[in-house]
Amino acid sequence: MTESVVEVLERLGGTATRAQLVALTSRAEVERAIAGGDLARLARGRWALPQVDEARAAAHRLTGVVSHTSAALLHGWSVATRPDRPHVTVGRRRRSTGAARVHLHWADVTAEERTQGATSKDRTLLDCARSLPFADALAVADSALRDGFAPGHLRALADAARGAGAARVRRVAQHASPLAANPFESVLRAIALEVDGLVVEPQVEVWEPAFLGRVDLADRRLRIVLEADSFAWHGGRDQLASDCRRYNGLAVHGWLVLRFSWEDVMFHRADVLRVLQAAVDQRAEVRCASCRAA
């Protein structure tokens, strides 16, 4: 069954270029979604989920600014989990009247943020890193780096962070990478980081000795590959044939290839964690058996 433009956009993390949406659906479907108000315009050729417009309206109504994951979307960054209600930050002395349909936050708001209608990119990253689960925070930080946010500046923000959630901020900055293609891959990497003995790198080129392909995540020592498989990118016949050749090549050269669906990574993270831990334990047993045999 073909996915709608909105469903594809959600899997991309809530923001995408028009060209990306056309490639994954069709030009006619994208035009219909735009005409029907199913997409919110961020800039020329760049679109987001309609929650962006809802957040703008809520912030205006409450005399506040769009913040947290709502601001991340407004900045054009992808998120792992779209906000169920707009996030709005208001001044510390602002009363909460009329805030029943938003996630309301209180903080000092700068004049520039009021003019822009959203928290700054720096503050948005800090807010997300402090308040979100690690996997979701990592997805936002990865997207920001892909979008051109300087890694050194992110690390500087983390080093300067103080107070509640500062340790979370530093952990996100430590592991953030622009190499993850989308939140799907970011969340899978975040889960892998929780597994004892598993050390994965994003977008690894595998040579044995000829080039076998680029994989989403790999632990070179244990020779484990993790692939974030989505029907949108792997559903065509040509792509299926290419994937089969790549996976077979990896398998015959001793790589364990684990493939995960978007649904499992996003909604069944504990199950993914158990599979990864079992794979690490199995590889460790094989390595020990080889050592004893030698």
Residues 33 and 62 in one domain: no
| Each residue's pLDDT tens digit, 19-54 | 999 998 999 999 999 999 999 999 889 999 988 999
Contacts of 218 (CB under 8 A, 6+ apart): 200, 201, 204, 206, 224, 225, 226, 255
pLDDT-wise least confident of 92-96, 122-126, 137-141: 92-96
Average pLDDT across the chain, whole number: 91
pLDDT of residue 15: 93
Domain count, the chain: 3
Residues 68 and 156 in one domain: yes
The last residue of a domain, from among 30, 46, 62: 46
Residues 29 and 69 in one domain: no
Residues 41 and 120 in one domain: no
Q: What is the mean pLDDT of residues 208-213?
A: 89
Residues 147 and 210 in one domain: no
The percent of residues above 70 in pLDDT, for the chain, comes to 92
- Residue 209, preceding bond cis, omega within 30 degrees? yes
pLDDT of residue 289: 57
The last residue of a domain, from among 175, 208, 231: 175
What is the distance between the alpha carbons of residues 180 and 204, in angstroms, rounded to a whole number? 11
What is the distance between the alpha carbons of residues 169 and 252, in angstroms, rounded to a whole number? 41
> In this structure, are residues 77 and 15 in contact, taking their beta carbons and an 8 Å threshold?
yes
Residues 55 and 78 in one domain: yes
Torsion of CA 205, 206, 210, 212, to 10 degrees: -90
| Each residue's pLDDT tens digit, 224-237 | 999 998 755 555 56
The last residue of a domain, from among 157, 175, 193: 175
Residues 167 and 194 in one domain: no
Residues 216 and 127 in one domain: no
pLDDT of residue 54: 93
- Backbone CA torsion sign across 181, 187, 188, 194: positive
Q: The domain that contains 204 carries what CATH number?
A: 3.40.960.10
Highest mean pLDDT among 16-20, 58-62, 165-169: 165-169
> In this structure, are residues 22 and 30 in contact, taking their beta carbons and an 8 Å threshold?
yes
Residues 41 and 57 in one domain: no
State which residues form the domain around 39. Answer: 1-46
Residues 161 and 73 in one domain: yes
Tell whether the model's pLDDT for residue 282 goes beyond 60: yes
Cross-strand pairs, 15: 48
pLDDT band at 238, cuts 50/70/90? Answer: confident
Tell whether the model's pLDDT for residue 94 goes beyond 80: no
